[in-house]
Amino acid sequence: MLIPRRDTGFVHPFASEITPQAVYQDRRRLLQLMAGGAAGAAVAAWAARDALGQESGVPRPGKLAALPARRSAVDGAATMEKLTDYKDASTYNNFYEFGTDKADPARNAPTLKTRPWTVEVEGLVKKPGKYGIEDLLKLSAQEERIYRLRCVEGWSMVIPWVGYSLSELIKRVEPQGSAKYVEFVTLADKATMPYVGSRVLDWPYVEGLRLDEAMHPLTLLAFGMYGEVLPNQNGAPVRLVVPWKYGFKSAKSIVKIRFVEREPGTAWNKAAKQEYGFYSNVNPEVDHPRWSQATERRIGEDGLFAKKRKTLMFNGYGAQVGQLYAGMDLKKFY
Ligand code: MTE
């Protein structure tokens, strides 16, 4: 069933695909929260979505092409939190290829050309290849996942992403036994990205994950947010979202995915080794050398009396990802 929205008349893309089981599980989670007395904001968020007849979907802002998705069974721990406004999520960005001010990417990224777009998969895989963005979009079912994104600078957002687990792509390309890490190379095009060439970072912006982190179902290859294709400033046409790591691990506008044996050099690690380690797991106990990581400011909660939130270990995803780091000294591997 497609539900037209009352305010914009746009068709909500999710409702038709919500499985009764997902709805049922969400209700159960809500009841558990209520039983635990932690229901306030969750009830408000739930009620707002229910009022639109969207059991668990999110109203789309209606600016860009719709990207239909079904509600994911691998949802984040943030599901019941109030979503960040689309306006904030799309105008307060880090995308240094378009400038270092938070407002720069929204202003400057319209020049980015997202079609045609190819993502090359190479390195230690049995089936390397080039994927056109349209094929990549269809490689697996698009899912909506509500994840927190916590930036190392001390702010966070809650965003309904659209995409599928990166593991879907990885399984298809069949990594060789020697592949231990995955490197993500992003576009560096001086013609369309005005700050590529500036000395702030070594271009292209590169990120990396250990293969088991990349295979973890929470690691999302994202093509959209709020039910629409990604706006350019958020990393169109395809980016990573790794919800238990600081935001800078979530590489935007990816053009190459390379399977390698050794830990790849990453953009921020190369720029300031002491400040940005390879792992970059959200960890309130490990301070950034120049500031604490114990609390965070939720974007949209900026009032005079707004309290900072306590930052959670692994950004609140410890139950799902903690075992990836069993036995590791997370102060050393920060
Ligand atoms: N990817 C590229 N290519 N270039 C960047 O400058 N910034 C990172 C990450 N991915 C960045 C990038 C940082 S520091 C953050 S916090 C997130 O993108 C921000 O994502 P958002 O703007 O969608 O919130």
CATH of residue 39: 3.90.420.10
Q: Does 333 fall in a domain?
A: no
Average pLDDT over residues 29-52: 43
* Residue 328 pLDDT > 60: yes
Residue 123: CA count within 13 A, CB half-sphere: 22
Whose CA is closest to 238, among 247, 260, 225? 225
Rg of the chain taking only CA atoms, in angstroms: 19
What is the number of structural domains in the chain? 1
In DSSP notation, 39-51 reads -HHHHHHHHHHHH
Give yes or no for residue 90 CB within 6 A of ligand 1.
no
The pTM (predicted TM-score) of the whole model is 0.86
2 with 57: CB under 8 angstroms? Answer: no
**Minimal-distance CA residue to ligand 1 atom 10:** 251
Q: Does 330 fall in a domain?
A: no
Give pLDDT, residue 57. 65
- Give CA–CA dist 142/69, Å, rounded: 5
**Minimal-distance CA residue to ligand 1 atom 8:** 248
Q: Does 259 fall in a domain?
A: yes
Atom of ligand 1 nearest to the CA of 96: 6
Residue 323: CA count within 13 A, CB half-sphere: 4
Q: Does 258 fall in a domain?
A: yes
Task: Calculate helix-pair angle for 20-35, 40-51, nearest 10 degrees.
Answer: 150
Atom of ligand 1 nearest to the CA of 205: 3
pLDDT band, very low/low/confident/very high, at 50 (cuts 50, 70, 90): very low
Three-state DSSP class for 231? coil
**DSSP E strand stretches across the chain:** 3-4, 11-12, 70-71, 118-123, 129-132, 143-150, 155-165, 181-186, 206-210, 220-225, 228-229, 239-241, 254-260, 295-298, 309-310
Q: Does 222 fall in a domain?
A: yes
At 75-97, the pLDDT tens digits run 767 778 999 999 999 999 999 99
Average pLDDT over residues 200-224: 98
Give yes or no for residue 186 CB within 6 A of ligand 1.
yes
Q: Does 334 fall in a domain?
A: no
CA of 248 to the centre of ligand 1 (A): 5
- Give CA–CA dist 90/102, Å, rounded: 10
Q: Does 331 fall in a domain?
A: no
Q: Does 159 fall in a domain?
A: yes
Give pLDDT, residue 227. 97
Give yes or no for residue 276 CB within 6 A of ligand 1.
no
At 260-300, the pLDDT tens digits run 999 999 999 999 999 999 999 999 999 999 999 999 999 99
Atom of ligand 1 nearest to the CA of 152: 16
Range of the domain at 172: 5-325
Amino acid 91 reads: T
- Give CA–CA dist 286/28, Å, rounded: 35
